[in-house]
């Protein structure tokens, strides 16, 4: 099994994916253990002094003015975890919780939190045992970080609350820890607070969304190319020299992908022979511009994620010179903004895909295709309602594109009077990514059928490979009306699992 070693300088996106989705084991580096011990020594020294230090010998948030006596400090740390584990609603996905725990461990191992090495080791042990705390949909305002979700994870470290075992069964966390030989942690000064104060949930979901969208944007270039073929469009608009004079990197990459997918097609450009068109519609001609803008948005989001992955997010933090200082680095605005930016890009990519599908189904705009791609139009409805479903998904995506990060709501007796809502932005982006996958699956279904209805002309080798692969996956081709939902579900799985990209890249080589 793959092992990820956590040091003091952060982790990579591939590390997050390996642990969250791949079940990779986690180990602490010797450097991290040393840094943990050194920072803990600083906290212990401050705890022994009579002067109050925030997070060490005081209350929290709006209650930070109270000095806590030594005999109550362990209880203080337990209480903050218990009281902050106040989530409600459905459970979030296992991969999200594993990313959340792993990224909190990343910050703990930076040596900037003051947590003891044994607490960090317990975090790694819980991950390695496949124990997943029950974390709920609602509870985080994204400032101070993802407090409620992280609190539910910390509760499991204490042997309290509920967690899911490696067998998928939810049980009391204490029982699961005991079965795996893991001793519950007894929290000391600052440790409860250090386990809760981070942007780890929203960051983990950002990293996973970027991985998913990297595949989906390639898929969108493929489905756009298929639609261009089916509509007898021209590939001249994809020429590199046209995109070089507007040098947005994403636009150039999308155009290059479409051109590679269409290489060798006999279908492109034939509209000039029989039904003259000066230009293709925007949804066809501007596909690289729209998909490219989304790619460039992803590039910015990836830069933000990389910076956050290298960060130590906590409050207060232990500085190298021995100071323990309060700060605002837990505020999720940088991550929340790009999560919202991505939701906008996703909605627009889905919107242009739906417009191409609608064009394929309209006999007045499809350049010779049968109405709704039906076998016997009037007796058969063809893909009429498949487009309805796609349109409903796009409408939902437009609602999900409304930014969460613009909707701050004050909390903690106005101490936390401006929050990021980054967790909410991440949750809606996950839904948006799911729906984009479904929208592209419908376009694939329609475009592949339309290409097959163009008799006498051969599609490009790459698009033919895509059609052959999707048919083998159980998505049927042209013919009389049938129960469509199973076909659409199979197309969804085909796109979601990356098999569309895999089939095409077997012909074209790696897409950009």
Query: Which are the catalytic amino acids?
Result: 54
457-486 residues labelled b (16+ CB within 10 A) or e (exposed): eebbbbbbbbbebbeebebeeeeeeeebee
Q: Do the bridges between strand 317-318 and strand 162-164 make them parallel or antiparallel, or are there none, so unpaired?
A: unpaired
Q: Report DSSP state, residue 363.
A: T
Q: What phi-psi label fits residue 386: left (phi over 0), alpha (psi between -120 and 50 degrees) or beta? A: alpha
For every residue of 243-290, DSSP letters joined together read: HHTS--HHHHHHHHHHHHHHTT-SSTTTHHHHS--SS--HHHHTHHHH
In angstroms, how far is the first alpha carbon of the chain from the final one?
A: 30
Q: H helices then E strands: how many in the chain? A: 20, 9
* CA gap 405, 329 in Å, rounded: 16
Q: What's the token pair of residue 138?
A: 């609602």
Nearest partner of 484 among 390, 393, 392, 347, judged by Cα: 390
* CA gap 37, 326 in Å, rounded: 21
Cis bond upstream, residue 436 (ω within 30): no
* CA gap 354, 162 in Å, rounded: 43
């Amino acid at each position: 099994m793959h092992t990820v070693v956590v040091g003091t300088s952060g982790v990579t996106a591939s590390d997050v994916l390996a642990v969250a989705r791949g079940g990779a084991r986690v180990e602490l580096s010797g450097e991290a253990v040393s840094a943990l011990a050194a920072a803990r020594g600083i906290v212990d020294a401050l705890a022994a002094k009579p002067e109050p230090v925030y997070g060490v010998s005081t209350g929290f948030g709006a209650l930070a003015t109270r000095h806590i006596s030594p005999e109550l400090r362990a209880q203080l740390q337990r209480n903050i975890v218990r009281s902050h584990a106040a989530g409600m609603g459905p459970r979030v996905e296992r991969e999200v919780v594993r990313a959340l725990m792993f990224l909190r461990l990343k910050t703990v191992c930076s040596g900037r939190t003051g947590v003891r090495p044994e607490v960090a080791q317990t975090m790694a042990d819980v991950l390695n045992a496949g124990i997943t705390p029950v974390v709920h949909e609602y509870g985080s305002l994204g400032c101070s970080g993802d407090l409620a979700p992280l609190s539910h994870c910390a509760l499991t470290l204490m042997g309290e609350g509920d967690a899911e075992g490696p067998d998928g069964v939810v049980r009391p966390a204490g029982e699961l820890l005991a079965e795996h030989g893991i001793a519950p942690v007894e929290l000391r000064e600052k440790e409860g607070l250090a386990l809760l104060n981070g942007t780890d949930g929203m960051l983990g979901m950002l990293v996973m969304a970027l991985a998913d969208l990297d595949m989906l944007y390639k898929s969108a270039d493929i489905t756009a190319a298929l639609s261009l073929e089916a509509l007898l469009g021209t590939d001249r608009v994809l020429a590199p020299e046209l995109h070089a004079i507007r040098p947005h990197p994403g636009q150039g990459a999308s155009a290059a992908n479409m051109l590679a997918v269409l290489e060798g097609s006999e279908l492109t450009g034939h509209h000039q022979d029989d039904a003259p068109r000066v230009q293709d519609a925007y949804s066809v001609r501007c596909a690289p511009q729209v998909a490219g803008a989304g790619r460039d948005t992803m590039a910015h989001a990836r830069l933000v994620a990389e910076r956050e992955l290298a960060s130590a997010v906590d409050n207060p933090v232990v500085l190298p010179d021995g100071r323990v200082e309060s700060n605002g680095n837990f505020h999720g605005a940088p991550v929340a903004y790009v999560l919202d930016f991505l939701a906008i890009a996703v909605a627009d990519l889905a919107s242009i895909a739906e417009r191409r599908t609608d064009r394929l189904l309209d006999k007045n705009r499809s350049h010779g295709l049968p109405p709704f791609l039906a076998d016997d139009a009037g007796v058969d409805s063809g893909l009429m309602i498949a487009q309805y479903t796609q349109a409903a998904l796009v409408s939902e995506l437009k609602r999900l594109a409304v930014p969460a990060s613009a909707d701050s709501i004050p909390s903690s007796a106005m101490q936390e009077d401006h929050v990021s809502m980054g967790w909410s932005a991440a949750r809606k982006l996950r839904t948006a990514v799911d729906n984009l996958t479904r929208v592209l699956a419908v376009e694939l279904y329609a475009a592949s059928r339309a290409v097959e209805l163009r008799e006498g002309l051969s599609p490009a080798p790459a698009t033919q490979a895509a059609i052959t692969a999707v048919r083998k996956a159980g998505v049927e081709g042209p013919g009389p009306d049938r129960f469509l939902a199973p076909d659409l579900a199979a197309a969804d799985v085909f796109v979601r699992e990356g098999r569309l990209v895999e089939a095409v890249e077997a012909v074209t080589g790696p897409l950009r």
